[in-house]
Structure formats: C-alpha cells, structure tokens
Amino acid sequence: MKTLYLVRHGETDHNADGRAMGQMDIPLNKRGLHQARQTADFLRRYPIENIVSSDLGRAMSTAQPLAEALGLVVQPEPRLRELSFGILEGKTVAECEVLDPESVARWRSGDFDATLPGGESRRSLMARTRAVLEEIKAGPHAHIALFSHGGTLNALHTHMLEHGNPTPREHIPRAFRFHNAAISMASYAEDQWRFLVVNSTFHLDGQVREWPL
C-alpha cells in the first residue's frame, strides 16, 4: 500500500490580496512560513520516505521544514507547478475581467482547452499531473509527501477520484478547493485510491477547520 500526503503551499502576499499567481515565483509571507513549520511539526510523525515538490519557491519553502525534520532532500518537480495564467498572472479576478473579458468568460465556461493569453490549458495540466501520479504509483516509496498548488492539487485529486473509471472525466471544474498549507491524505491499494483526509487544516492555529472525509 502507498500513502500520499498532499500539501498546498503556505500563504503568500498574492494569496492574501486575492491575486492569481500561476507560475509566478512568489515567496511565502510571514504567515506562510509559520504554516510551513506547523505542517512539518504535524507530518514528521508519519513514516514519510520521500518528499516531492513543485519547483516554485512557495512550494519548496513549505516542504523544506519537513525535509529538515526528517533528514530528507526535497525533490523538485516542475510538472507539479500551478497552471499558467499567462499575461493575467499577478492580477485580481476583477482586473482580469477588465483586461480580457472574453478570455475570462471562456475560461470560466469550463472549456477543457481554453487558455488565457500566454497561459496553459486544463488539458495540459491534467496530462502532466497524471504522469507524476503514475510515476509515484510505480516508484519504490510507500509514503510520499507532495507539495504543490491549488489547481494542481485539484487535478491530482480528480485523477485519484476517477481512477478505475473506464471513461474517466478529464476535468471536474472546482471539484476540490484547498486552503493554504492544507493537507490531504490518500492511500493506494488493490488498484484503488482511497481518500483518508481532504483539505485538513487541523494542524494550523487560527485557521478555518475542515472535517476530514
């Protein structure tokens, strides 16, 4: 059996301001660094053997305290980056709608191949995250911590939800939402993923509390 510990990065100033980051390399703010330490304090009790992270700084910085606590090295993985929002990165939703209302409307329609100018489609995100998940399944480690981003985690959770479906849906828009530094856990055995916890913030002080599944 494999167990996957999936973590969204801690808070950044762009998160606090409601700005889209996409693949911008925005660092954690003070609160985000505290969340990273709290996440490490919680996850260090589990027998994690490998830590994989998006190579963007906010994810790597969230993973680093756990790596130090367990004596491991974070493995950077560019395929775990957030979806690219192109020229609208760094903008609020309201600013995006003013700059390019037609592209935003198409994006919101759920079109699987829609892209914002200079950005990436959901189809591309789903393809690269599926490849990472398949490699993890085939790999030697039984307990893996994975640090990434909200959109990327939504894609990974969707893959796990649809696993074994003979006609899997390629994307479930907004199927999952994740708070900063939230933890999900899933186990894989007998060719099936089972969610143990989704979007838990029980380990964080002063945060919204989400009941595990």
pLDDT classification of 116: cutoffs 50, 70, 90: confident
- Contact by Cβ (8 Å): 18, 95: no
User: For the segment 123-157, what is each residue's pLDDT rounded down to a tens digit?
Assistant: 999 999 999 999 999 999 999 999 999 999 999 99
**pTM over 0.85, yes/no:** yes
Query: 140 Cβ partners below 8 Å, 6+ apart?
Result: none
| Dist CA 43 CA 51 (whole Å) | 11
Quick check: 111 pLDDT over 80?
yes
Q: Give yes or no: 82 in active site.
A: yes
- Please say whether the beta carbons of 40 and 53 come within 8 A: no
Catalytic residue among 9, 14, 159, 179: 9
Task: Give CA–CA dist 74/65, Å, rounded.
Answer: 10
Kindly state the average pLDDT of the residues 16-20.
92
Q: Which of 83, 80, 82, 168 is nearest to 131 (CA)?
A: 80
Give the CB-side neighbour count of residue 31, counting CA atoms within 13 A.
Answer: 13
CA pair distance 160, 186, nearest whole angstrom: 9
In terms of pLDDT, which residue wins out, 210 or 95?
A: 95
212 CA to centre of own chain: 17
- Interatomic CA distance for residues 174 and 84, integer angstroms: 16
3-state secondary structure of 53: strand
Q: Please say if the pLDDT value at position 38 is more than 70.
A: yes
The pLDDT of residue 110 is above 90: no
- Greater pLDDT, 70 or 93: 70
Question: Catalytic one among 82, 157, 159, 171?
Answer: 82
Picking from 42, 80, 48, 63, the residue whose alpha carbon sits closest to that of residue 207 is: 42
Average pLDDT over residues 61-67: 98
Residue 211 has pLDDT above 60, yes or no: no
Residue 189: its pLDDT value, please? 95
Work out the average pLDDT over 106-111: 81
Domains (ranges, CATH) in the chain?
2-85+121-200 (3.40.50.1240)
Specify the pLDDT at position 176: 83
Q: For the residues 175-190, what does the mean pLDDT come to?
A: 94
